[in-house]
Amino acid sequence: MRTISVDLAAKLRLGAAVFAERGYDAATIEALSEATAVPPSTLYYNFAGKQEILAFLLQDWLDRTSVVVATAIEGPSTAAVRLEAVIRAQLGAMAEDPSTCQMLLAELGRIDRLPHIAAAVQQAFHRPVAKLLVEGAADGSLAQVSIENATAVIYGAVTLTGLRHVVAGDGQTPAFDVDEVAGDVVGLVMNGLGAR
């Protein structure tokens, strides 16, 4: 894959809907071209095939998500406050790009064969949360927990909740009310389900 310009990347994002609606096998270069207004010759020039386009779209979304998460993780607040901001940022990224999220859900098996995407998921989701869990245990704002298990639980809560709302949505952007959904997820993550 060649280096993709900002303009071409913006057009290509419209191709996520093709993968989301048709699935990988039925998503043709011609359909991607029609959805993005990028000629097939340009797609073939820049990508070896539709798997590279799929990988580009996922990587692009994960890169953009990493930026909003990095912003959320910075600041003078406690780790617990910053963890809440990270959860909100991750859900916000999902709400703002429902087609890519649906594509992610539909192509999970294929993504396992794209190791750089797995690394990008670590960068966008797991590492920031793990960092905050360590810092929270140190500053007393979060309990000491198994970092690996807690990170997986939070990732699952954010990802599956966001995907559920994207799939149940009516195709609008944002796909769901981020404050409402994040409030529920943050409440469960920070307080658990035990009666108080």
Tens digits of residue pLDDT in 150-183: 999 999 999 999 999 998 887 788 999 999 999 9
Tens digits of residue pLDDT in 111-149: 666 677 778 888 888 999 999 999 999 999 999 999 999
- The pLDDT score that the predictor gives to residue 141 is 94
- Residue 155 has, within 13 A of its CA and on its CB side, a CA count of 17
Among 52, 14, 54, 48, which Cα is nearest to 33's? 14
Tens digits of residue pLDDT in 74-107: 878 999 999 999 999 999 999 999 988 888 777 6
Distance of CA 90 to the CA centre of its chain: 6
Q: What percent of the chain has pLDDT over 70?
A: 94
pTM: 0.86
The Cα–Cα gap between 1 and 49 comes to 9
Q: Where are the alpha helices (DSSP H) in 47-126?
A: 50-73, 79-96, 98-106, 108-111, 115-121
- The pLDDT score that the predictor gives to residue 150 is 94
Residue 10 has pLDDT above 90, yes or no: yes
- The pLDDT score that the predictor gives to residue 112 is 60
The Cα–Cα gap between 17 and 171 comes to 10
